[in-house]
Chain A
Amino acid sequence: MKHFLRILLMFISVIALSDCKKHKTLVELGNEQQILHVGNGDEISTVDPQSTSGMPEYHVILSLYEGLVSKNPQTLEIVPAVAESWEVSDDGMVYTFHIRDSAKWSNGEKLVANDFVQSWLRGLMPALGNEYASSYFVIKNGQNIYEKKVGVEEFGAKVLDQQTLQVTLIAPTPYFLQLLDHHSMYPVHIPTIKKFGALDERGTRWTRPENFVNNGPFILSEWTPNKYLSVKKNPNYWDAKNVHLNEIRYYPIQKSSTEERMFRSGQLHATYYLPRDKLAVYKKTKDPALRSYANYATYFYRFNNRIKPLDDVRVRKALAYSIDRNKIVEYVTKFGQIPAYSLTPPDTHGYVAQAKMPFNISLAQKLLAEAGYPNGVGFPELKITFNTSDEHQNIAVAVQQMWKQNLGINVVLENTEWKVFLDKEKQMDYQIDRASWVGDYLDPNTFLEMFITDNGNNRTGFSNSHYDALLAKAALESYKEKRMAYFQEAEKILVDSVPILPFYTYNWNRLVSPSVQGWYDNLMDYYPFKNVYLIP
């Protein structure tokens, strides 16, 4: 027995001794050494900007690469980056970029115009499986090269001299500069990629910290999957004197409650997200760490427009008009969302959708009766399908109640695992399903093009030739007012046809320590760390 007591005492004293001294927290140490500890949602799949699409990847890639242009994190206006200036032809079809002389790769090599051309051509290689290959289709012959109809020498991006790049577009694309700040448009170091395999081969070892060459403000330093990824200041970056952080550690934390605990105990400067039930507490205490701002994303339901009774616009209208979105955001989701009555989020570069779906129960009842279901009598039982999540479940329950109360119809709820859900949605094997969309660039087009007849993201069966024509016209229009008018008209068609039921514009909530300076909230949740610094 004595032996056991001795072992027990030893065990306890080891615990006690190792932890009784009060250590400085990671945040306190980070503030002294300019090391930022930040939650990044999930483990990233790669740091190759041309074979990834996720947001956690994007946040890391933003530190490692820089495109021709960048965005001001406060205003989201386009600012010079690798290109110090550019000119646009009168017809808006030809862009000439002047690459700054001081632009370099992290290995010290000079960054030249040809690096962009070669990188984009790599992004157009079909075997690479670049999900954003269509980003280059706005450039002359981009699509033809992807489809192997013409040779690469026909590409619309041309090197005029080492420092000058000329890009010819297929149509005036007013959001082209916005598009240039998308990660698929960033330059990659071709010689390094070639050293570790074919240019169009995925997952070769060029993305490993020991091999990696990049052009952004930070370089890849350490990467332990599911632990953290660390980037350090790049001394060869052209604007290195304005980079204040020495290191950033991105933690792939999937559970927001774990993240919040780490923040509270000084292990993180900033969280990726906030647990839903914690928002009220932080708001009540007016915690200065809380950041809450609208996001360029919409939560909506898709209606399967091809099946009965949802093929009848009056039914879809009745369903959409009988939902009290205020109640949903106030009592169900409680995360600061803004009720949405159309698809595009409000105030995107001056565009606010004028067409809106009404919340009008008596009109909804009238429409349902006209469709042949007075007071819901004879209405078949519909199913709302959603992927496993408490939030989706809660919203679906609220919707179920509202339709029951307001229209007298019954719906059942179907909870499915994510990949099963996606599979069903793509096969259109659903009646009503939950959906969301995050805009890729600040332009209504990024939302509205989704419902063009043959767009792969449509998935509702909605097809309107006038709608398609309006978006095609908008794509060719360089006058902003006229373009916006086309979008307004298209959005009105969408609102009148109700292929979808919008609920709310997302709101992003996260915690950022007051010691972090230069981190701005914006609609795109765009937070480059180039100008961020830490104060004690």
Chain B
Amino acid sequence: MYLFILKRILQSIPVLLGVSLLTFIMVRSAPGGPFDQDRNVPPEVIKHLNEHYHLNDPLWKQYLDYLWSLLHGDFGPSFKFQSHTVNDLIAAGFPPTMELAFYATLFALIFGLIAGITASLKPNSLQDYVPMSTAMIGICMPSFVLGPLLLLIFGIWLQWLPVAGWGQIDGDKILPSVTLGAAYAAYIARISRGGMLEILSQDYIRTARAKGLSTARIVFVHALRGGITPVISFLGPAIAGLLAGSFVVETIFQIPGLGRFYVQAAFNRDYTMIMGCTIFFAFLIVIFNLLADVLLVLLNPKLRQEVSGGR
């Protein structure tokens, strides 16, 4: 098992290097520079700024210098937000993004699993159709539609919840979490329904029923463990997707998260910030995929045997 984890960690190093090189090349080949503005900036000012940020060095040197400072945990200064380093901005933006992703996942898991399991218990009945159609709507409705809709109802009309902010007013975390989590709840509902249906048709479940066990016992003790395996393999990439894809929700709800910095950085040609965010998100995606794989191995005896047997 440890060997498996170590192998996966070692595999991620070339992935991260590749991501950093590719991002560097793409960012630097985009037209326009970080100091271009609507108003003319005198060429000598641009020259001094380029010197200050070492943008006059050969590209390969800039890339190697960047990697070197990265090894020391330094993502460099932000070109646009001069008063902050990229480390400062990631440190400021990541906690809200992480928290948002956590609540959204929690919401998605609770509602997704309830809907999925409920539907799987009576397939092709009203109990199946209602949650599954709702899930379909959840998948189809993008967050930039759902967010403003929820805001209009709960924020403006009913005035139950704040319309923006994060951790400033009581309850301001609810609507963003629901908006971000809704689509994932819907996916989880469909996946868990599928997983549960498969398990519930297995012989050992029939045996359990024949023994006269209650539905709750069959579901929670016998079926759930196998039924939610597909959900877990979905969760790894999903959490990474929630983190990296929270930009829209962060913008709608004015959340000071990393997603907003990331997108702004691209528009500002804030080279170091783009690099920093990309590498950071790539690292998170690698980590969450690894965690999901480890969890799957732990839950699935067949996989466990494969990993420990080295086959």
Contacts and interface: CB of A to CB of B under 8 A. Distances in A.
Interface of A: 1-4, 7-8, 11, 15, 18-20, 23, 26, 43, 45-48, 51-53, 126-131, 133-134, 201-203, 205, 207-208, 223-227, 251, 253-255, 257-258, 261-262, 264-265, 267, 417-420, 422-424, 426, 436, 455-457, 459
Contacts of A1: 117, 215-216, 219
Given A15-B174, A261-B155, A267 B216 contact: no
User: Which 5 A-B residue pairs are closest in the complex by CB-CB distance?
Assistant: A419-B32, A456-B40, A227-B256, A226-B256, A203-B82
A52 B114 CA distance: 53
28 contacts: A3-B220, A8-B114, A15-B171, A23-B170, A46-B82, A128-B48, A129-B46, A129-B49, A131-B42, A133-B42, A134-B42, A202-B52, A203-B77, A208-B83, A224-B92, A225-B261, A226-B92, A226-B256, A226-B260, A227-B166, A253-B254, A265-B159, A267-B162, A267-B165, A420-B32, A422-B36, A423-B31, A456-B42
A261 B156 contact: yes
Given A203-B82, A225-B89, A267-B162, A126 B36 contact: no
Contact of A261 (B151, B171, B219, B220): B151
A11 B219 contact: no
Q: For this complex, into which size category does the number of interface residues on chain B fall?
A: 35 or more
B267 A418 contact: yes
B207 interface: no
A227 B40 CA distance: 30
A255 B251 contact: yes
A18 B48 CA distance: 53
Contacts of A48: 82-83
A275 B177 CA distance: 25
A224 B256 contact: yes
B174 A267 contact: no
A225 B82 contact: no
B122 interface: no
Contacts of B161: 19
Contacts of B230: none
Contact of A258 (B84, B252, B264): B252
Contacts, number: 163
Contacts of A7: 110
Interface in B164-182: 164-166, 168-171, 174
B163 interface: yes
Contacts of A265: 155-156, 159, 162-163
B41 interface: yes
Contacts of B84: 203, 225
Given A225-B93, A419-B32, A423-B32, 12 more contacts: A2-B216, A11-B110, A23-B169, A51-B82, A127-B51, A129-B48, A131-B39, A131-B42, A133-B45, A253-B164, A258-B253, A419-B36
A35 B39 CA distance: 34
Contacts of A133: 42, 45
B81 interface: yes
B257 interface: yes
Nearest to B173: A18
Contacts of A422: 32, 36-38
The residue among B45, B168, B267 with the most chain A CB atoms within 10 A of its own CB is B45
Contact of B40 (A2, A11, A455): A455
B83 A419 contact: no
B242 interface: no
Nearest to B49: A129
B152 to A, nearest CB: 8
A240 B114 CA distance: 60
B170 A18 contact: yes
Contact of B174 (A19, A225, A417): A19
A419 B41 contact: no
B245 interface: no
Contacts of B114: 4, 8
A254 B251 contact: yes
A47 B166 CA distance: 24
Given A267-B163, A267-B164, A419 B30 contact: yes
Contacts of B30: 419-420
A1 B295 CA distance: 24
Contacts of A423: 31-32, 36
Contacts of A134: 42
B190 interface: no
Nearest to A264: B156
A131 B80 CA distance: 14
B4 interface: no
B277 interface: no
Contact of B81 (A45, A457, A459): A45
Nearest to A417: B267
Given A2-B216, A19-B161, A43 B36 contact: no
Nearest to B250: A226
A261 B117 CA distance: 38
B269 interface: yes
